[in-house]
Structures are given as structure tokens and as C-alpha cells.
Amino acid sequence: MKSQKLKYTSYLFTYLLLFFSIFTMLEWFFHKQILFTINENGATTKFNTALLFFLCTISLIISRKKQRKYRTPFFIFTYTVLFISILTLIEYIFRVNLYVDNLFIKDTFTIVNPGRMSEATAVCFIFFAIGLTGLKSTNRAYIATTQHIALVTSIISLITILYFILRFPIDSKIVFFKTMSIQTAISFLFISFLLISKSYNIGFKETILGNSDGSRSLQKLLPFIILIPFFLSFFMLTLINEKIIGAQSGIIVYTLVLILSGFLYTYIVSIGLNKSDYLRRTLEKNLINKNSELLNFKEALDKIAIVAITDENTFIKYVNDKFCEISKYSREEIIGNTNEIVRSDYHPDSFYTEAWLTVSSGEPWFGEVKNRAKDGSLYWTETAIVPLKKRTNYIREYMAIQLDITKRKEAEELLASKYVKTLEQKNQELEQFNYITSHDLQEPLRTISSFSDILYEEYHDKLDSNAKQLFLFIKKATRRMSSLIKNLLDYSQLGRQREISKVNCNLLVNDIIEDLNSTIKQNKATIKQSNLPIINAYPIELRLLFQNLISNAIKFSKKDVSPQISIKAKKKDHVWEFYVKDNGIGIPEQFQKKIFSIFQRLHTENEYEGTGIGLAHCQKIVGMHGGEIGVKSKPGKGSTFFFTIPNQ
Ligand code: ADP
């Protein structure tokens, strides 16, 4: 509100000054007396004065423009003002004519020193021009000094106005103030106000327009100090002049009214100031209370949590004692570093990137982080990182609050490793069982098969067509059972001779394509592979994995559509992700998990031959490598099988 008022007053004064200076210059130009002789005895505003006012106002207007192009005109105008006013003053002091007075316009009205501005005006312009230079300075002391120098201008103009209002006879004026015109004096008052309002909040401006107690008292008292004595003197002098009251009693009345009104005014101002003081003290008390509340929170937080605050570029600027204690770094070692200082290799880069993306978007991030202390030991923390916004939507700091969960994590890891061991043991037992049963089952099956063959050979003449049909069923069923048992045996033996070695996946897939050559030709399949990597894997198992996926892609193709298969790989953080994509019949969503279980098929033997163990093999192989397998598919639109192999 206050600054708004200040702004509008500045605009008003600027326009008035521009109008006054241009108007006066035009008056001189056309030799018309309208404004510059306000009364017969008074002084005139000279052309030079109007010109300097004009230059000063323009300097003030462009003083706040940041662009470089305004800098030179600003200084040219300001120094022109300084130059002309100094020359004028020299003319007065040394009684010489330096030909500046009638340089632009010839003054034919004035008798004494035609065209020359008064000494007071020249002095005011010198002080004012010095004040103007302060607007372009960054030095506090210089700005404050120039502001105070410019203040002299307003004091001189104020005295001139006083003289005018109190109607001092021109002869009793002090010589210095003799010839400054009232309109010049008022213009100086306006332009001084503009200078103060444009200046930095230091020096005189700070004292007058500031918000501290002293400034506020000054703001309240200043109108009184200036206006009341002013108008009172004017009033009393009129009464004395009109002989309504004698000079002596006039002075007594003047003094009495001044004391009384002064007391009343300061009393009222004090009541207002007391009120705001009371308000301030209440606010202070609230602030102290809030502060101690905050301190309590901080104390509680410091007792249980590890706290760090970073700036917006993630450089640490505060850590509490707990941070130093757990990370084993001294405060000096941590401050100025980023969180990298306690970063362990445990998490992939993506983990930290995800955290950073979350907090930098203004959202808090939560997670469990494994950190490394100075001595290399590792510790786990439950972490919350909160972005702190000081202004709307502008993050100034991040605060990380962490709880030490190392013990809990160690217990979890211990439990998990025990669980894995038990699981591995159980798996081994199961595989053993599988192996033994499938191995042992084959024997009686072979007996059934061979005896039924013998039976058929011996008695087939005596059998009718129905019995022959039944024999055929027995034969088919024993063959299928035998192949199921064989598959089971393979499954249990998968990965028994485990040995990891470097496998060139390109060569491996080429080999498979060669092996499947006749099937590929039969089905008119095309297989494309793009630059597959060399990875560390179990070679035999990996081959089986690719082989199963490729042959499924050929097998489950749409009728009358030749299979098109593409094999790709992509590196993702610490794993290689492989894709085997086909344009086949696709898989309904509800079966996409089920098909990886042993003997799970979606079709009958007549539709597509198979035993339902291929994908179970694949899952086991990927699992052996520590990866994951899955499928994305839509019925009728083809399937993409994908699996990951850690990049060890
Ligand atoms: P099998 O191929 O012997 O049937 P799998 O374990 O290899 O056994 O596959 C299980 C089932 O998953 C298949 O019966 C089939 O229904 C489905 N399947 C596997 N691969 C594909 C594929 N590329 N497109 C469509 N369905 C598939």
C-alpha cells in the first residue's frame, strides 16, 4: 500500500516537473511571460534552470534502467547539470562572465545578471547532481553520503518557500536566497523527493521511509514539525500585519498554541506507537514460544534420528551428531560434500536417480538405503528425504531424516539366507526324488510296453478289430508316458553339471537355427536376431532355453501365416534382458503365468504336440542364473517371451 502510494506520487511529480521545465523553456523561447515571473518583485525561473530541471528529471527516469545503453546518457545529463551549475557559481564567486547564462536563449527581461540562475539554485543543482551519481553506485557509504548531500537541496528550497509564504520583504532576505523563484524552490522539493524515492534503501531514505521504530516516529512527527509552525506563523503574521493583534501578544499566543498542539500531537502519536509496540511485544513472545517448541522438536529428532540438510544442489550444509556418529566422519569432512560420501555400491544408479527425480519434483521420498561409513563398514537406514520449499514451488533445501535399521536388516538377511539354504536343500531332495522315481518308473513301463508287443504279436490273428484298437491305445499311452517320464528325468537333471562360462549368444542362436533348419523350412519361418551380447552363463542350459522358446514360436504359429520371429537383447542396469517375439496365436492373459509350470499346456496333443515341460525348463534355467522370465501377449497378436540374465 505504502509503496503503491509512493509510486503514484513519483509519477505525479515526474510529470509535473517535465511539464514545468518544458513549459518554462518554451516561454523563454517565445519570449512570453506566463509562469516564470510569478510576481513583480519575485525572482524568475531562468532558461538554464528549466533546462537543468529537465535533464535532472530525465536522468532520474533512466536511472533505474539496467541496460547498458542508458548508462552513458545518464552520466552525460548528470555531468552537464553539474558542469553548468559549477560554472554559474564560479561566475558569482569570481565576478566573471563565462558565457553560460545566455548560451541557449538571450534573457532580455532581467537587468542584473541576465539569464543567470541564482547562486542558491546553482548550489542546489551541484548538490543534486552529486546526489544523482549515488544512484549508479554500489558502495553503501557513497550512496548514503550523496543522499545526505542532496538533502541540502531540499533544505535550501524549503527556506525559500518559507520566505515566500511568510511574505518576507525581498530586501530583508539573506542575499543567498534572494533570487531563487518560488516555482524553482517547489521544483527542487519535488525533485528531491523523486531522488530519495529512486535511491537504495540506505542512508537518509532508510531513516525517513524505513520501518524501524525511529523511522516510524519520524514519519508521524515530520508533518507536524513542518506544517504546524508553518501555518501558525503564517496565520499569526497575517493577524499582526492586519493589526488585529500586537506583535508581543502574537509571539506569546504563537508559543502557547505551538506547545499545546505539539503536546497533543505527540500524545496522540505516542498512543499509536504504544499500541504497535504492544503488538510487537506480543508477537515477540509468541515467536519465543514457537522457537522453544521448535527447539524441543529438534532435540527429540536429534535423539533418535540421523539428520542431514543439503542445499538445492545436494551439497550437505548441516548434519547432526548422530550422522557423524554412525558415518564415522567428522562434521568438517561431511559439510560441503554430497551424499556420495556415504554411498555404497549396493544399490544400482537407477535407485538414486529415482530418489532424486522424486524429491526434485517436490515430493518426499521414502526408502531403505545401505550406506558405507568412513571405515568401510556398511549400515542400513530407513530414509525419508523431504524437499523444503522456502518460496512457492522453489526448493531451497532437502532434509534427510534417517533411522538406523542395520540390526533389523542383518536379522532379515540372516533369516533369508537360512530360508534359501533350507529351500535349496528341499529342492535337492525333490530333484533326487524325481530322478529316482522317473528312473525307476521307466523299468515297469518298458516291461508293459514289451509284453503288450509280445501279446499283440502272438495273438493278433485271434483278436477282433475292437481289441486291436485297444492295443493301439495301450501302445500310444505307454509311448506318451515314457516321453513324459523322460522329460521329468531331464528336468531333474538340468543344471547338475553347473559351470559358468562366456557364451556368445549370436553364435549360440545361429547353431540352434541350423539345428532347426528342416522345421524352419517346413513352416516357412523367418528368424531375425540383432546383435546379441556375450554373457556369462551355463552354456548347455542357455542353449536349451533359446531352443525351447524358438521352437515354441514356430510351433504355436497361426494357420496359414508363416512364423516371423525376432530375437533381441537390451542392457538394463545390472542385467541383460532378452526378447523372443513371434506373430503366433498368442496366449490369453489368465494363462500367462500358468504356462511356466510343469506339464501345463493350453492345447490338446492333437492340436499342437508337446508335453508341457518346455517352459518349465526355461523357468528353471533362468532361475539358475538368478534372472526372471515372463511373457507379454495378446491372443491372435503374437507373444513376446522375455527373460533376464544378470551381467556378472
Ligand atoms: P509344450 O510346448 O510342450 O506344450 P511348453 O511348456 O513349451 O509346452 O508350453 C506350454 C504352453 O504354453 C503351450 O502348450 C502353449 O499353449 C503355450 N505357449 C508356449 N509358447 C507359446 C507361444 N510362443 N505362443 C503361444 N503359446 C505358447
Closest ligand 1 atom to 616 CA: 6
Alpha-carbon distance of 373 to 371, in angstroms, equals: 7
Which CATH number among 3.40.630.10, 3.90.199.10, 3.30.450.20, 3.90.1720.10 corresponds to the domain 305-409? Answer: 3.30.450.20
Of 559, 580, 601, the one to substitute when testing ligand 1's pocket (max ligand atoms within 8 A of C-beta) is 601
pLDDT tens-digit map of 208-219: 777 777 888 888
Ligand 1 residue neighbourhood (C-beta within 6 Å):
548, 552-553, 556, 582, 584-587, 595, 600-603, 610-616, 639
Q: What's the confidence (pLDDT) of residue 467?
A: 86
Whether 571 shows a pLDDT value over 60: the answer reads yes
- Assign a CATH topology to domain 501-646: Heat Shock Protein 90 (3.30.565)
- Residue 586 CA to ligand 1 centre (angstroms): 9
User: Which residue's CA is minimally distant from atom 13 of ligand 1?
Assistant: 601
Q: What's the confidence (pLDDT) of residue 39?
A: 46
Whether 35 shows a pLDDT value over 70: the answer reads no
User: Which residue's CA is minimally distant from atom 7 of ligand 1?
Assistant: 614
* DSSP states of 481-507: HHHHHHHHHHHHHTTSS---EEEEHHH
Please identify which residue in the block is written with the cell numbers 541540502.
Answer: 152
In percent, how much of the chain has pLDDT > 90? 41
The residues, ordered by sequence, that sit 6+ positions from 172 with a Cβ below 8 Å of its Cβ are none
In the structure grid, which three cell numbers stand for residue 269, read together? Answer: 502519536
Give the Cβ contact number of residue 539 at 10 Å: 14
The model's confidence at residue 561, banded by pLDDT at 50, 70 and 90, is: very high
Highest mean pLDDT among 13-17, 417-421, 594-598: 13-17
Among 155, 109, 111, residue whose Cα is nearest residue 131: 155
Highest mean pLDDT among 109-113, 185-189, 224-228: 185-189
- Residue 440 CA to ligand 1 centre (angstroms): 28
Please give the average per-residue pLDDT across 184-203, as a whole number. Answer: 85
Going 530 to 534 to 538 to 543, the CA torsion angle's sign is positive
33-42, 66-75, 204-213, 622-631: least confident range:
33-42
Higher pLDDT, 35 or 48: 48
Q: How many CA atoms lie within 13 A of 416 on its CB side?
A: 6
- Residue 522 CA to ligand 1 centre (angstroms): 19
Q: What's the confidence (pLDDT) of residue 329?
A: 95
Of 483, 595, 619, the one to substitute when testing ligand 1's pocket (max ligand atoms within 8 A of C-beta) is 595
Q: What's the confidence (pLDDT) of residue 391?
A: 63
Whether 129 shows a pLDDT value over 90: the answer reads yes
Among 309, 344, 311, residue whose Cα is nearest residue 323: 309
Q: What's the confidence (pLDDT) of residue 168?
A: 65
Higher pLDDT, 644 or 419: 644
In the structure grid, which three cell numbers stand for residue 72, read together? Answer: 552513458
Among 481, 491, 506, residue whose Cα is nearest residue 544: 491
Q: What's the confidence (pLDDT) of residue 392?
A: 62
User: Which residue's CA is minimally distant from atom 16 of ligand 1?
Assistant: 602
- Residue 545 CA to ligand 1 centre (angstroms): 13
Q: What are the boundaries of each domain within the chain?
A: 2-209, 211-298, 305-409, 418-493, 501-646
Judge contact between 508 and 594, C-beta under 8 A. no
In the structure grid, which three cell numbers stand for residue 585, read together? Answer: 496365436
Q: How many CA atoms lie within 13 A of 551 on its CB side?
A: 20
Please give the average per-residue pLDDT across 537-553, as a whole number. Answer: 92
User: Which residue's CA is minimally distant from atom 20 of ligand 1?
Assistant: 552
The model's confidence at residue 372, banded by pLDDT at 50, 70 and 90, is: very high
Q: What's the confidence (pLDDT) of residue 172?
A: 54
- Residue 48 CA to ligand 1 centre (angstroms): 102
Among 44, 173, 182, residue whose Cα is nearest residue 115: 44
In the structure grid, which three cell numbers stand for residue 32, read together? Answer: 512570453
* Mean model confidence pLDDT for the chain: 86
54-58, 161-165, 203-207, 510-514: least confident range:
203-207
Please give the average per-residue pLDDT across 584-599, as a whole number. Answer: 91
Whether 41 shows a pLDDT value over 80: the answer reads no
pLDDT tens-digit map of 266-301: 898 888 888 888 998 999 999 999 999 999 998 998
Please give the average per-residue pLDDT across 124-146, as a whole number. Answer: 89
- Residue 566 CA to ligand 1 centre (angstroms): 17
- Residue 129 CA to ligand 1 centre (angstroms): 93
Q: What's the confidence (pLDDT) of residue 38?
A: 47
Whether 149 shows a pLDDT value over 70: the answer reads yes
- Residue 612 CA to ligand 1 centre (angstroms): 7
**Maximum Cα–Cα distance across the chain:** 166
Whether 118 shows a pLDDT value over 90: the answer reads no
pLDDT tens-digit map of 473-515: 888 888 878 877 777 777 777 766 667 889 999 999 999 999 8
Of 480, 527, 582, 587, the one to substitute when testing ligand 1's pocket (max ligand atoms within 8 A of C-beta) is 587
Of 519, 615, 634, 641, the one to substitute when testing ligand 1's pocket (max ligand atoms within 8 A of C-beta) is 615
Q: What's the confidence (pLDDT) of residue 553?
A: 95
- Residue 587 CA to ligand 1 centre (angstroms): 9
Q: What's the confidence (pLDDT) of residue 496?
A: 66
User: Which residue's CA is minimally distant from atom 25 of ligand 1?
Assistant: 586
Alpha-carbon distance of 235 to 244, in angstroms, equals: 11
Of 551, 556, 619, 634, the one to substitute when testing ligand 1's pocket (max ligand atoms within 8 A of C-beta) is 556
Highest mean pLDDT among 456-460, 466-470, 501-505: 501-505
Highest mean pLDDT among 113-117, 208-212, 529-533, 583-587: 583-587
Closest ligand 1 atom to 582 CA: 23
Which residues make beta-bridge pairs with 633? 639
Judge contact between 560 and 572, C-beta under 8 A. no
- Residue 498 CA to ligand 1 centre (angstroms): 26
Q: What's the confidence (pLDDT) of residue 40?
A: 46
Highest mean pLDDT among 103-107, 335-339, 423-427: 335-339
Q: What's the confidence (pLDDT) of residue 331?
A: 93
In the structure grid, which three cell numbers stand for residue 267, read together? Answer: 500524545
Among 90, 56, 91, residue whose Cα is nearest residue 76: 56
